[in-house]
């Protein structure tokens, strides 16, 4: 039985929640590179991963969202890309301790292909380096996530597939009159079709404008492909309170939308910005795991 068959034998599969805010609660400062903590403060990173396992996550990600060398160059850390990724996957694997699978995170470069800020060759090299290092660190699978450009997503997907590991590919839908397109204009149907055709084992959506908006997105993704669907939505929209970003949705309110996500066809469910282990625990209570 393959990894995905094993996990999907009991659905929905509960994934994890946000990482950045959890690291901030442990001392990450504005402008600091969270991924570098894999080397400088691995114990705190492991605490985040373990908190999600203890909350009920059957799949956890890794602190490697911005660990491709293009993104790391902004922090002067491009030369440490492989080391940061290997450490990130290994930290999550230790935290999982056999109780959860590690789907290591591959986020966007932060540069735009269409404006010439980067090239396909540069992205291909960066994502290939990252994917190899994550596999070397012990990842069970890889998650290409928070992508707004299908072209970049497909380059990252190709790089991830070259490792031989299962790959999830996710886009962000938060643009257009109905907030149902990516920043570059792709629809859920277009994204699902192209990502599946490029070899994604699971397709989905993460981040975005909030969990309630992703119910319809999930339904459209499910109708467009036979691949399992992955949804990790934000806890609504943030508000600025006394100069700080605050997410006011409660874990219980977030979890209240989960039955509709399941009905819409989600096989993997977790949280993105604004969520925490408390949110995952609330979702676990709803889905009975």
Give the separation between CA 237 and CA 186, rounded to whole angstroms. Answer: 22
What's the confidence (pLDDT) of residue 239? Answer: 84
What's the confidence (pLDDT) of residue 90? Answer: 98
Backbone angles phi, psi at 230, to 5 degrees: -115, 125
What's the confidence (pLDDT) of residue 288? Answer: 82
Three-class SS of the chain: CCHHHHHHCCCCEECCCCCHHHHHCCCCCCCCCHHHHHHHCHHHHHHHHHHHHHHCCCEECCCCCCCCHHHHHHHCCHHHHHHHHHHHHHHHHHHHCCCCEEEEEECCCCCCCCCCCCCHHHHHHHHHHHHHHHHHCCCCEEEEEEECCHHHHHHHHHHHHCCCCCEEEEECCCECCCCCECCCCCCHHHHHHHHHHCCCCEEEEEECCCHHHHHHHHHHHHHHCCCCEEEEECCCCCEEECCEEECCCCHHHHHHCHHHHHHHCEEEEEECCCCCHHHHHHHHHHHCC
**Which pTM value belongs to this model?**
0.97
Give average pLDDT by consecutive 10-residue segment, the chain, 289 residues. Answer: 95 97 94 97 98 98 98 98 98 98 98 95 98 98 98 98 98 96 97 98 96 97 98 90 84 98 98 97 92
What's the confidence (pLDDT) of residue 254? Answer: 98
Comparing CA positions, the residue from 223, 276, 218, 226 lying closest to residue 252 is: 276
Give the separation between CA 82 and CA 78, rounded to whole angstroms. Answer: 9
- Please name the residues in contact with 34: beta carbons below 8 A apart, sequence gap of 6 or more: 19, 20, 23, 28, 63, 65, 66
Contact 216, 180 (CB under 8 A): yes
Q: Angle CA(245)–CA(249)–CA(251) in degrees, nearest 5?
A: 120
Give the separation between CA 44 and CA 19, rounded to whole angstroms. Answer: 11
Fold category of 3-287 in CATH? TIM Barrel (3.20.20)
Q: Residue ranges of the domains in the chain? A: 3-287
What's the confidence (pLDDT) of residue 289? Answer: 65
């Amino acid at each position: 039985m393959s990894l995905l068959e094993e996990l999907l034998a009991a659905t929905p599969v509960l994934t994890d929640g946000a990482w950045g805010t959890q690291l901030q609660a442990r001392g990450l400062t504005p402008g600091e590179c969270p991924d570098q903590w894999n080397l400088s403060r691995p114990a705190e990173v492991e605490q985040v991963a373990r908190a999600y396992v203890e909350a009920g996550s059957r799949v956890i990600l890794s602190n490697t969202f911005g660990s491709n060398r293009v993104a790391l160059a902004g922090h002067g850390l491009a030369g440490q890309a492989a080391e940061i990724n290997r450490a990130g996957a290994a930290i999550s694997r230790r935290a999982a301790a056999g109780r959860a699978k590690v789907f290591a995170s591959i986020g966007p470069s932060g540069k735009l292909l269409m404006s010439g800020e980067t090239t396909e060759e540069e992205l291909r090299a960066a994502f290939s380096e990252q994917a190899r290092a994550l596999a070397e660190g012990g990842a069970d699978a890889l998650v290409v996530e928070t992508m707004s450009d299908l072209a970049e997503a497909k380059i990252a997907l190709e790089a991830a597939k070259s490792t031989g590991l299962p790959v999830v590919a996710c886009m962000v839908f938060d643009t257009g009159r109905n907030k149902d397109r990516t920043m570059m204009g792709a629809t859920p149907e277009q994204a699902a079709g192209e990502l599946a055709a490029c070899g994604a084992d699971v397709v989905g959506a993460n981040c975005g404008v909030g969990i309630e908006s992703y119910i319809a997105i999930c339904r459209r993704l499910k109708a467009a492909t036979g691949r399992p669907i992955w949804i990790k939505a934000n806890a609504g929209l943030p508000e600025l309170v006394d100069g700080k970003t605050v997410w006011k949705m409660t874990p219980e309110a977030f979890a209240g939308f989960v039955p509709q996500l399941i009905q819409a066809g989600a096989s993997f469910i977790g949280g993105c910005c604004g969520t925490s282990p408390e949110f995952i625990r609330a979702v676990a209570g709803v889905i009975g795991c």
